[in-house]
Amino acid sequence: MAVVYILNANKLTTDISRYDNINNKRLEKIKKSTNQLFIKEQLGSNLLLNDILENNYFKDINLLEYVYNESGKPYLKDDNLYFSLSHSNGIVALTVSKEEIGLDIELIKPIKESVVKRIMNDREYNIYSSLDKNKKITYFYEVWTSKEAYVKKLGTTISLNPSNIEIDEDILIKRIIIDNNEYMLAVTNSMSLTIDERYIPKELLERKK
C-alpha cells in the first residue's frame, strides 16, 4: 500500500527566512525564480518532505544529505528510503517507500490535440480517439500521469520521447478533488492507496494585507 501525502502550498508565505532546513539545490531554484506559484510549490515540497521524514520515519532533518543521479533525481545519501515528489497548481504530493517509487499529480484541464499526439503512442491514441469528449480528457491524464510516475521511478526524464514509453508494470491511478479542482494521481509499486492531507503550520500561512 502506498501513502500519498498532500499539502496545499497555495497559502504558504514565500518569505524563505521563515523556513528551516531548505535543501540547497531547491534553495538555488527558488532564488532564481520570480514565479510565486513555483516558489510556493518548492517550499511546500521541502516542508512536506521534512515533515514526513522527521515525524513518520524519525530522521534527523539537520543531518540529512541528498545525492542526485545524472537526470537530477534526488536520493537520501546512505539510506534505504526512497521518495517521489510531484506538484501541480500549488498542490504538492509525496510518497515514501523502501524501494524505488514514482509519483505524479496533474491538474485536470483542457488539452491541445498536439500535446495528446506528442504524449501518446499509436495504440494509446487509437483508444483516445474512440472515446467521447468527457472520457478523452480522463484517459489522457491517466496515460500522462502513468508515464510521468513510471519514468520518475526509473530516475530518467519524460521530456525526451514520451510517446515511446512502454510501461511494463501496474500503475495505480486515482482521480481526486482538492479545493474544487480535479487532479489525476498516479503511483507505481502499489495495489492500494491512502491519501493523507498534511497540516500547514499557521505561522507559514500567507496573511492577507
For the residues 187-204, what does the mean pLDDT come to?
89
Q: Which residue from 206, 196, 21 is spatially nearest to 92, judged by alpha carbons?
A: 196
**Sorting pLDDT into bands at 50, 70 and 90, what band is 160?**
low
| pLDDT mean across residues, the chain | 92
pLDDT in tens, 107-155: 999 999 999 999 999 999 999 999 998 899 999 999 999 999 999 999 8
For the residues 177-198, what does the mean pLDDT come to?
92
For the residues 23-34, what does the mean pLDDT come to?
94
Which of left, alpha, beta for 181 (phi over 0: left; psi -120 to 50: alpha)?
Answer: beta
Q: pTM (2 decimals)?
A: 0.93
Lookup: cell for 47: 516542508
How far from each other are the two terminal CA atoms of the chain, in whole angstroms? 43
Positions of E strands within the chain: 2-8, 66-68, 74-76, 82-88, 91-97, 103-107, 171-178, 181-188, 193-197
Q: Reply yes or no on whether the pLDDT at 159 is more than 80.
A: no
> Can you give the pLDDT at residue 138?
96
Q: Residue 106: which H helix or E strand, with range?
A: strand 103-107
Residue ranges and CATH numbers for the domains of the chain are: 2-200 (3.90.470.20)
What CA–CA distance (Å, rounded) separates 143 from 145? 6
Long-range Cβ contacts of 124-132 (<8 Å, 24+ apart): none
> Can you give the pLDDT at residue 114?
94
